[in-house]
Amino acid sequence: EQEILDSIIISNTAAYAFAKDPLRQDIAENFQYDWIVKNKNKPNLRKLSSGGSNAIYLVEGEIVTGMSKKPGGSKATKSIDFQNDNEYYYAKYTETCGGAQDNQCNDGKKFVEQANLYCNKHQDNKVFILLVDGGYYTEEKKLSIRSTISEQNRHRVRVCGSYEV
């Protein structure tokens, strides 16, 4: 064990092998949150629980909370990240192209699909925002995801970067 610790201290390569990717530690999500609060006049924006009974999900077109475990399958999203009054944000930061990045994007597409379904079922004032930042989300990629939103729901289901909120 001591040999490994010593190698981490003296070798960047060894340290890198044991380092956790910062983008998998909520750093990007925290940056998105802070940037929106400071630059987009959203003082009521709050972070939501990412798990446990306080987490909020979209499941089969319904807003669901109070679950003892995360819902699975194709008819549910991962937990919603932020809320600002009637706005619900699903935040993604993805850099370059690849398999894992495509999975991140598919999570976002599932959120849009479930938000669209919610809006079809409920004529209320809730707005759902897929917040996408990073080099992966080109204008073409955002347009492609937006094209899956029903015309009648485009004012309530949005796909945008932090600067567009």
Question: For each of the chain's 165 residues, which pLDDT tens digit applies?
Answer: 777 777 777 877 766 666 555 445 578 889 999 999 999 989 899 999 998 899 999 999 999 999 988 888 888 889 999 999 999 999 999 887 666 777 788 899 999 999 999 999 999 999 999 999 999 999 999 999 999 999 999 999 999 999 999
Take residue 114 and report the two structure tokens written for it. Answer: 């479930």
Euclidean distance between CA atoms 38 and 82, whole angstroms: 15
Cβ atoms < 10 Å from Cβ of 65: 14
**CA triplet 118, 123, 129: central angle to 5 degrees?**
50
Cβ atoms < 10 Å from Cβ of 146: 15
On whether the pTM is more than 0.85, the answer is no
Take residue 24 and report the two structure tokens written for it. Answer: 């998998």
- What is residue 72's DSSP assignment? -
Say what the pLDDT of residue 102 is. Answer: 78
Say what the pLDDT of residue 58 is. Answer: 96
27, 48 in Cβ contact below 8 A?
no
Phi, psi values for residue 23, rounded to 5°: -70, -10
Say what the pLDDT of residue 97 is. Answer: 66
Q: Which CA distances in Å does 97 have to 108, 123, 124? A: 15, 37, 36
Say what the pLDDT of residue 16 is. Answer: 61
